[in-house]
Structure 1
Amino acid sequence: FSSILVALHKKYCTRSFISMALSLRRTSNRAREFILTRTYSFDRLNRYLRQLVLFVYRFSALRLSSFCIHLLYFVSLAFLGSLAMVLLKPSDHSFSPSYVDMLFMSTSALTVSGLGTVETERLSSAQLAVLTLLMFVGGEVFVTLLGLLLRRTSENDKREASAVRVDAVSVELEAADPSRVVTIDSIEPADGSVAMAEEKDLRSSCIRWLRYIVSSYIATFHLFGTSLLLVYIYRVSHARDILRKKGINVFLFSLSTTVSSFANGGLIATNENMAAFNRDPTMLLLMIAQVLAGNLLFPLFLRLAIWTLKRITKREEFRHMLKSTSETRFSPLLPGKQTSYLSLTVVGLMTALLVMFCSMDWNGAVFDGLNSFEKIVAALFMAVNSRHAGENSIDPSLISPAVLVFIIVMM
């Protein structure tokens, strides 16, 4: 009887094991089919998206003018940004801004005009992130990079073809003498065509390297700017306490401030702009470097970067970019003499405003409570930002009328 029970138990266990194995195999097959189906669906969707992006790129690059591309770019992003601002809820639940206000804020951030109709502290972190993204894609350096990426090569080909075009002439041909017929086995290109092909390759290589340089330039200043601001805020309790009292995320503030300064957007997460940090000269100096690198001295820094790469790599492309700036058709890349004149003009105007600011308002209410070094840095911050960025470290209503007039002239 016990042997019968053992046999039945083994038989039952074997059947259970077999059924379990079959069930696991069916489940595995279904899972494999599901994964393959989803993978194929995602792959097909990815392929469709790539084709769509490629179609839009080719259509915009070949059929639309530069003006139409810029207009479509800014108008579409302004409306998309306003929709995102409306859908995202502000941090102040009692605050319900209208769509016109959000459209104005979106357009102001995208065009880096620095104007606002609502207090930035009443916006949520998500809305502030949208404004930061809009300032980034609307900054001058990023827009010039897009121009490089959308550079059309067909215009160069047409220009070169028209340059070597020969007008048709009528020639009467006589019957050839068979004894004078010469058979040519091979034809070698003329020296002119070889030189033209090499020049075209060199110009294309310069454009490609210029894209890499500008992209690295943008990434470097944003990465180091955000990191240095983060380190400073975490190490200085005064700046950290201001953000904690206002309920502003430290990383988001550092990133947004860096983007705003580099793009010369003028929108800061605090209602007082940078006046809340007028006793933090190190932070103001970091932002001054961002403002100069993103607009006023971008041609100088770009030329210095190319010159440094030429000295290190000894490549012909960098020498050609410095020598023949007009062939790249990249407006920020100016000849050496024009770059020097532009840089001297920027430094001269900033120095003039700094001297006038300190001489007129040194003992005034505008610098009340600041020591000498903080006054100089605050005045320098205003001198740099008055040209384009629109950020301020003091109360503008306390500035003397003569200095205000000079600021208006500089703007």
Structure 2
Amino acid sequence: MKKLIPGNWRRKTWDIILAMLPPLNFLTLHYFYFIATCLITSVIFYLTSTPWRSVSYVNSIFMCVSAMTGAGLNTVDLSTLNSFQQAVLFLLLILGHAILISLTVLLVRKRAFEAKFKGVSDARERERSSRSSAVDLHVGVSTQRSTGTDNEARGESDDKRWIDDDQVTVGGTPRLHHHRVFPMAGIGARPDLNNHPRDAVPVPLSKEDSVSGFKGIIRGTQKYMASKGLVSRNSQFHDLTAAEREELGGVEYKAVSFLSVIVFLYLVLFILFGVIGVGCWLEINDPDVTRSNGLSPFWTGSFFAVSAFVNSGMSLLDANMTALQLRAYPLLTMGLLILAGNTLFPCFLRFIIWTMRKMLPNRPAWQSWRITLDFILEHPRRVYTNLFPARHTWYLLGTIIILNGIDWAAFELLSIGNKDIESLPTEFRILDGLFQALAVRAGGFYVVTIADLHQGLLVLYVLMMYVSAYPVTLTMRNTNVYEERSLGIYAHDETPDSPANTSRSNLAMNLIRRHLNRPGFPETSRGYFVHQQLRSQLSHDLWWIALAVFFIAIAEADHYSAQPVAFSTFNIIFEVVSAYGCVGVSLGFPGKNYSFCGAWRGVSKLILAAVALRGRHRGLPVAIDKAIMLPSESLAWAEEEDAALRRDRSMVFQERGPVGSV
């Protein structure tokens, strides 16, 4: 019988513990930030209720989670809360907003670039000092030996960096790779950078050789720096020396620094625009609407504006937006805020940067600014999560217009015969339909009573709430610089005729593949990526929603027996999908102003809070995303290796021809 070597059992125990713990990366920190903040504020929210314990702790934690995730559902009437509790919800709306979190990522990456540059500068200074000392002491032989030792040490470094530096994301620390129970890598992604074959060693190529492998998609890097490097598809820079990599890092640093200012101004100015505009409008034009609920008009308008911008749908008014269904200014302003704060944020941001680039004077003094703005516009996903290339931005805009147009048309057509809606003036009926179309996919407000709408329209709303995050999420992942590496395509999909690439079972998916494929690059890789993302996203969503509906239906069985219409299964599905999509539209409960979930049992509310928390994290970038990763040597190596693998794959594709070709 073999004896266990001392220390081995400790190592195995530690490996088991690490396998059970999620890695420290962007997604893990995101979950921790939301859970910790909600737990802390829920205690404060509960302890400050007036009268004492008028709001239960279950309702307190649900309200805090709903506000921070943007779910927007409320289990108590917000008008009955005291001013401090309303202020807590107001703060949570902002703290949980995606733009604020993305701004934090920019600031952290900016700081990481600065620390890296300082480290490089200090290393060079030490190297110069050591060389100077060596010359003064006339120890040339020792210097040569030392240099040889240093070079040898660096060559150990190249091997080690793949082991210790495989997942350095925002706030993360290098750690060994383990097969984890909870990889926390994002939907459809591999957990680390180190998922390619080790024998694929990148070799610097001449431009002629590279172009032969990347016809029509290769470009030089001379526009941004003095270099003979190349830029291939999906903004991947390769064939760069170490010095050129450092210079590229300087260009990226300027881009990140510029974006941190622009995104901050975007966030602050839009919030101020909404707070001042809607708050002052209510104060001047319609103060009685808010004072009937015992609220300040300006405070109510400010809450409206922020709730619209963060796409929450929470309202201090018991009647939500139905009290303002005949007011054009707040409807139009809040509709703009809904779009600017979420679905069209990438489009608005790119338009702002594009406009600034066009307005720059063509003078040598502005050359640095032109390079920075050109780099952001041409390689947006290297520097920011929610900024996309021009083609993908147009696709996103078109998708949003089509989906909102469907909602708008369905509202107008399926409301024929609805006396409450037909009694509205024609212009406001059209405007209310537009606002409801904008709000049902993300905003969460309702300008008419949702439960009174046509049954078919409610089914459409369920579908739209379910896919609310898809346009931005799929665009974000489709433009990931490390899309192949994140899925391990090269490691598991080596040839164009592999089974994963030759499937012809889905005609719609084949059309998507052909549509998204770029000229000169094998269709199969990008088609596989889009197919994998759609499949992973659907499987990620459906089982969670199904389990939530199942357990809530069990918990609310006695309520269903007493009130089968109010507690119907469809109403539960509607509420769960609304929470998972972080929308906030609810069918309500008869005789009450709060959401339908307000009539549920405590355990059902906690399940729904978990659903909202899970849904808030479905649209995040994967762990291997350049826009959230800290600068490191392994990222540069991964980029060079991807270029080598893609070149080899492309050459094989050219030799064999497209799949199915004669």
TM-score of Structure 1 vs Structure 2, range by shorter chain:
0.7 to 0.9
Whether 2:213 is the aligned partner of 1:253: answer no
- Residues 10-39 of structure 1 deviation map (CA, whole Å, 9 limit, x = unaligned): xxxxxxxxxxxxxxxxxxxxxxxxxxxxxx
1:130 aligns with 88
Q: Distance in 1 between matches of 2:52 and 2:257?
A: 51
1:407 match: secondary structure: helix
What is the Cα deviation at residue 252 of structure 1?
Answer: 1.7
Which of these residues, 112, 118, 137, is aligned with residue 153 of structure 1? 112
1:246 match: secondary structure: coil
Checking the alignment, whether the CA contact within 8 Å between 1:362 and 1:375 is kept in structure 2 is no
- Over 3 Å counting, the alpha-carbon distance change for 1:275 and 1:94 in structure 2 is farther
Whether 2:324 is the aligned partner of 1:262: answer no
2:441 match: secondary structure: coil
Q: Distance in 2 between matches of 1:154 and 1:211?
A: 13
Give runs of aligned pairs for residues 325-336 of structure 1, distance below 5 A: 325-328=380-383, 330-336=384-390
What is the Cα deviation at residue 68 of structure 1?
Answer: 2.5
Checking the alignment, whether the CA contact within 8 Å between 1:299 and 1:339 is kept in structure 2 is yes
Q: In structure 2, list runs of 5 or more residues that go unmatched.
A: 1-22, 121-153, 161-225, 229-240, 361-365, 466-662
1:296 match: secondary structure: coil
2:174 aligns with none
Whether 2:323 is the aligned partner of 1:276: answer yes
Q: Distance in 2 between matches of 1:233 and 1:362?
A: 31
Give runs of aligned pairs for residues 352-371 of structure 1, distance below 5 A: 352-371=406-425
1:33 aligns with none
- Name the TM-score, length of structure 2 as normaliser: 0.46
1:323 aligns with 378
- Residues 293-332 of structure 1 deviation map (CA, whole Å, 9 limit, x = unaligned): 011101100101111222234522111100112321x221
- Residues 90-139 of structure 1 deviation map (CA, whole Å, 9 limit, x = unaligned): 4xx49711111111101110111111111111111111111010011111
Checking the alignment, whether the CA contact within 8 Å between 2:280 and 2:301 is kept in structure 1 is no
Which of these residues, 31, 39, 58, is aligned with residue 71 of structure 1? 31
Whether 2:303 is the aligned partner of 1:286: answer no
Give runs of aligned pairs for residues 381-396 of structure 1, distance below 5 A: 381-396=435-450
What is the Cα deviation at residue 154 of structure 1?
Answer: 7.3
Letter in 1 for 2:400: V
Checking the alignment, whether the CA contact within 8 Å between 2:113 and 2:253 is kept in structure 1 is no
Percent of aligned positions that are identical: 28
What is the Cα deviation at residue 338 of structure 1?
Answer: 0.6
Q: Distance in 2 between matches of 1:366 and 1:114?
A: 25
- Over 3 Å counting, the alpha-carbon distance change for 1:310 and 1:399 in structure 2 is same
What is the Cα deviation at residue 368 of structure 1?
Answer: 4.9
Greater shift after overlay, 137-146 or 356-365?
356-365
Whether 2:134 is the aligned partner of 1:80: answer no
1:25 aligns with none
Q: Distance in 2 between matches of 1:155 and 1:403?
A: 53
1:392 match: secondary structure: coil
Greater shift after overlay, 75-84 or 103-112?
75-84
2:443 match: secondary structure: coil
Whether 2:453 is the aligned partner of 1:399: answer yes
Checking the alignment, whether the CA contact within 8 Å between 2:441 and 2:464 is kept in structure 1 is yes
2:55 aligns with 97
Q: Distance in 2 between matches of 1:70 and 1:194?
A: 34
Checking the alignment, whether the CA contact within 8 Å between 2:45 and 2:88 is kept in structure 1 is yes
Letter in 2 for 1:87: L
Q: Distance in 2 between matches of 1:366 and 1:108?
A: 30
> Which structure is higher in helix share?
1
Which of these residues, 265, 276, 280, is aligned with residue 227 of structure 1? 276
- Residues 341-377 of structure 1 deviation map (CA, whole Å, 9 limit, x = unaligned): 0111101111121112111214413415421111111
What is the Cα deviation at residue 155 of structure 1?
Answer: 13
Q: Distance in 2 between matches of 1:281 and 1:94?
A: 40
Give runs of aligned pairs for residues 120-199 of structure 1, distance below 5 A: 120-151=78-109, 153=112, 192-199=241-248
Larger Rg: 1
Checking the alignment, whether the CA contact within 8 Å between 2:47 and 2:53 is kept in structure 1 is no
- Over 3 Å counting, the alpha-carbon distance change for 1:395 and 1:222 in structure 2 is same
Letter in 1 for 2:49: K
- Name the TM-score, length of structure 1 as normaliser: 0.72
Q: Distance in 2 between matches of 1:155 and 1:381?
A: 45
2:492 aligns with none
Q: In structure 1, list runs of 5 or more residues that go unmatched.
A: 1-62, 168-188
Greater shift after overlay, 283-292 or 190-199?
190-199
What is the Cα deviation at residue 84 of structure 1?
Answer: 1.9
1:150 match: secondary structure: helix
2:395 aligns with 341
What is the Cα deviation at residue 251 of structure 1?
Answer: 2.3
What is the Cα deviation at residue 246 of structure 1?
Answer: 1.2
Total equivalences in the alignment: 321
What is the Cα deviation at residue 193 of structure 1?
Answer: 4.7
Give runs of aligned pairs for residues 306-317 of structure 1, distance below 5 A: 306-313=353-360, 315=369, 316-317=371-372
2:221 aligns with none
Q: Distance in 2 between matches of 1:320 and 1:140?
A: 23
Higher relative contact order (Cα pairs below 8 Å, separated by 6+ residues) = 2
Letter in 2 for 1:293: A
1:310 match: secondary structure: helix
Which of these residues, 318, 340, 344, is aligned with residue 297 of structure 1? 344
Letter in 2 for 1:233: L
Q: Distance in 1 between matches of 2:53 and 2:347?
A: 44
Q: Distance in 2 between matches of 1:253 and 1:395?
A: 20
Instruction: Give structure 1 regions of 4+ aligned residues with deviation exceeding 4 angstroms.
Output: 154-158, 164-167, 189-194
Q: Distance in 1 between matches of 2:77 and 2:52?
A: 13
**RMSD across aligned positions (CA):** 2.8
Q: Distance in 1 between matches of 2:105 and 2:416?
A: 44
Letter in 1 for 2:268: A
1:106 match: secondary structure: helix
